[in-house]
Structure 1
Amino acid sequence: MKYNSDVEAVDALSIAYEEIRKEIAKVIVGQDEVVKSVLISIFSNGHCLLVGVPGLAKTLLVQTVARVLDLSFNRIQFTPDLMPSDIIGSEILGEDRNFKFIKGPVFSNIILADEINRTPPKTQAALLEAMQEKSVTAAGVTHHLPKPFFVLATQNPIEQEGTYPLPEAQLDRFMFNVSLSYPSFEEELNIVKSTTSNVVAELKRILNADQISYFQQLIRQIPVADHVLEYAVKLVAKTRPQTQYATPEINKYISWGAGPRASQYLIIGAKCHAAINRKYSPDIEDVQAVAQPILKHRIVRNYKAEAEGMSTEQIVANLF
Structure 2
Amino acid sequence: MTESTNHSGDDSFPPALGDTSTQASPRRGLVVLEGRTTEARNTTPIDLLRASMRSISIEAGRVIIGQQDTPQPLTFCLLSGGHALLEGLPGVGKSLIARSMAEISGLTFRHVRMTPDLEADRLVRELCVPADGGRECLYEPCFANLVLADDIEQLPPRARAVLLQAMEERTATMEGRVWTLPSPFVVIATRNLPPLHGPHPLTERERDSFLMQLTIAYPSSRDLARIVGRTTGSGSTPARQVTDVVSVRRMTDLVREVPIARHVTDYAVRLVLATHAKDPSAPPLVRQYVVAGASPRGAQALVLAAKAAALMDGRYNVAFDDLRYLLIPTLRHRLTVRSAASEAGVDPDMILQQVLRAIDEEP
TM-score, length of structure 2 as denominator length: 0.79
Cα displacement (A) at 1:279: 2.0
SS in 2 for 1:266: helix
Give the aligned length. Answer: 309
Partner residue in 1 for 2:231: 195
Shift of 1:102: 7.7
Structure 1 equivalent of residue 190 of structure 2: 154
Bigger drift between 70-79 and 298-307 goes to 298-307
1:306 Cα shift?
A: 3.2
Matches within 5 A, 1:104-183: 107-138=143-174, 140-158=176-194, 160=196, 163-183=199-219
Contact 2:149 2:190 in 1 (8 A): yes
Contact 1:49–1:152 under 8 Å retained in 2:
yes
Out of 14, 18, 25, the residue aligned to residue 4 of structure 1 is 18
Using the alignment, how far apart are the partners of 1:307 and 1:23 within structure 2?
A: 40
C-alpha distance in 1, partners of 2:171/2:46?
29
**Which consecutive residues of structure 2, in runs of 5 or more, have no partner in the other structure?**
1-14, 20-42, 127-137, 357-363
Question: Unpaired runs of 5+ in structure 1?
Answer: 91-99
What whole-Å deviation, never above 9, does each CA across 1:154-199 have from its counterpart, x for those lacking one? 0011453761011111100000011111112221121111111111
1:291 and 2:327 matched: yes
Distance in 2 (CA, whole Å) between partners of 1:146 and 1:76 is 17
> Runs ≥4 in structure 1, deviation > 4 angstroms?
100-104
For 1:231-242, what aligned pairs fall within 5 Å after superposition? 231-242=267-278
Q: Alpha-carbon deviation of 1:25?
A: 3.5
* Displacement of 1:8: 4.3
Residues of 2 paired with 1:249 and 1:294: CA distance? 19
Q: Which amino acid in structure 1 is aligned with residue 185 of structure 2?
A: F
Match in the other structure for 2:25: none
- Root mean square deviation, CA, Å: 2.4
Number of the residue aligned with 1:34? 70
**Counterpart secondary structure, 1:235:** helix
Could you tell me how far 1:18 is from its partner in structure 2? 2.6
Report SS of the residue matched to 2:210.
coil
Greater alpha carbon shift after TM alignment, 132-141 vs 45-54: 132-141
Counterparts of 1:54-93 in structure 2, within 5 Å, are 54-89=90-125
Asked whether the 8 Å contact 2:264–2:320 carries over to 1, the reply is yes
Bigger mean CA deviation after superposition, 156-165 or 232-241 = 156-165
Against the structure 1 CA distance between its residues 206 and 237, is the aligned structure 2 distance closer, same or farther, given a 3 Å change threshold? same
- DSSP 3-state at the match of 1:75: strand
CA contact 2:258–2:317 (8 Å) conserved in 1: yes
Percent of paired sites with the same residue: 31
Q: Separation in 1 of the partners of 2:159 and 2:140?
A: 18
Q: CA deviation at 1:248?
A: 3.3
What amino acid is the match of 1:242?
K
1:123-161 Cα shifts (integer Å, max 9, x gaps): 111101110011113455320111111100000114537
Q: 1: CA distance between counterparts of 2:172 and 2:93? A: 29
Matched position secondary structure for 2:271? helix
